[in-house]
Amino acid sequence: MPTDIPGIHHVTAIASGPQENYDFYTETLGLRLVKRSVNQDDTSVYHLFYGDRAGSPGTSMTFFPYPGARPGQVGTGQVSTTGFTIPADAVEYWLDRLEGAGVDVDEPRERFGETVIPLRDPDGLPLELVGVEGAPAGGPPAGPVPPERAIRGFYGVTLSLEDTDSTVRVLEEMGYEEAGSAGDRTRYEASGDIGAVVDLIAEPDRGRGQPGAGTVHHVAFRVTSDEQPEWREQLQTLGLRPTEIVDRKWFESVYTRTPGGVLFEYATAEPGYTVDEALDSLGERLVLPEWFEDRREEIEAGLPPLSVDSN
């Protein structure tokens, strides 16, 4: 058996306007653009990666922004909410900050003894900021949010499912353990100190999610390069149909659609975003995997305008 998975590697969602997406995640949430590239399956679309200063695994929220994309519909078979960790004593700071920025935000609520701030990004993507006592220090980027108040990385994700049993089996195989329940929500936790939570909600009457702007495309979990082939075999023993290992330049990936409909990815921590850019200049230029370099001029000409500040 491979080693238990410690938590989330990244979450990838669909957006509409790339400029609005960039402005919100860097200026409002204070994350750093750590990689500016293209969707490797559709090079006419950016792939924008945000995270801590280095884009460490467990901190990286990524987007495919399709200008003019129709709104999606969050529902079953999807990640319905993506949560970020903030220090518990930063809750009031974030409430004031979000209100001042005109963000679509709800009143905070208590969940499992922690304060949760529900909000939505410019495309309506459901997000949460979760105040955590003893939140890890992490590596917050320089930017508009003071380091002591900054987002530390992922808290976890919530999955909306028609039923939870088949997904529980997958999570338990990954090393997640049930950690409690509240109403229709059941919490599973991994061993890591960041991005370790997966909440399951059975919502058979909600309706199937529809992809589009404001919805999550997939959630990726952290694995090592050495153990990724073992994880692929393990997924097959569960009756799933994982892809071959795919080279994404900054990590290698295996994808599988879970029985509940959510697309899971198993991504390696290595080699990371600094494999082709210096740490201090991450995100400042369009970076392409070498297999696209001979098409750079064509690719750049097909991308929409995006104004990016120096990091």
* Torsion angles phi and psi, residue 166, rounded to 5: -70, -30
In the chain the beta strands, taken as DSSP E runs, fall at: 8-15, 32-39, 42-51, 60-65, 78-87, 104-105, 109-111, 114-120, 126-132, 153-161, 177-182, 185-189, 197-202, 215-223, 246-247, 252-257, 263-268
Helices and strands (DSSP H and E) totals, the chain = 5, 17
Structure pTM?
0.96
**Are the beta carbons of 39 and 46 closer than 8 angstroms?**
yes
* Torsion angles phi and psi, residue 143, rounded to 5: 170, -160
Q: How far apart are CA 83 and CA 154, in angstroms?
A: 6
Q: How far apart are CA 233 and CA 99, in angstroms?
A: 47
Q: How far apart are CA 75 and CA 52, in angstroms?
A: 29
Tens place of pLDDT per residue across the chain (311 aa): 799 999 999 999 999 999 999 999 999 999 999 999 999 999 999 999 999 999 999 999 999 999 999 999 999 999 999 999 999 999 999 999 999 999 999 999 999 999 999 999 999 999 999 999 999 999 999 999 999 999 999 999 999 999 999 999 999 999 999 999 999 999 999 999 999 999 999 999 999 999 999 999 999 999 999 999 999 999 999 999 999 999 999 999 999 999 999 999 999 999 999 999 999 999 999 999 999 999 999 999 999 999 998 65
Q: Which of 72, 67, 70 is nearest to 19 (CA)?
A: 67
- Three-state secondary structure call for residue 230: helix
Residue 1 has a pLDDT of 79
The domain covering 8-302 belongs, at the CATH homologous superfamily level, to 2,3-Dihydroxybiphenyl 1,2-Dioxygenase, domain 1 (3.10.180.10)
Q: How far apart are CA 85 and CA 157, in angstroms?
A: 11
Q: How far apart are CA 129 and CA 111, in angstroms?
A: 12
Q: How far apart are CA 170 and CA 177, in angstroms?
A: 11
* Torsion angles phi and psi, residue 95, rounded to 5: -60, -45
Residue 24 has a pLDDT of 98
Residue 311 has a pLDDT of 59
Residue 244 has a pLDDT of 97
Residue 309 has a pLDDT of 82
In whole angstroms, how far apart are CA 96 and each of 91, 117, 155? 9, 12, 21
Residue 200 has a pLDDT of 98
Q: How far apart are CA 304 and CA 18, in angstroms?
A: 8
Q: How far apart are CA 179 and CA 257, in angstroms?
A: 24
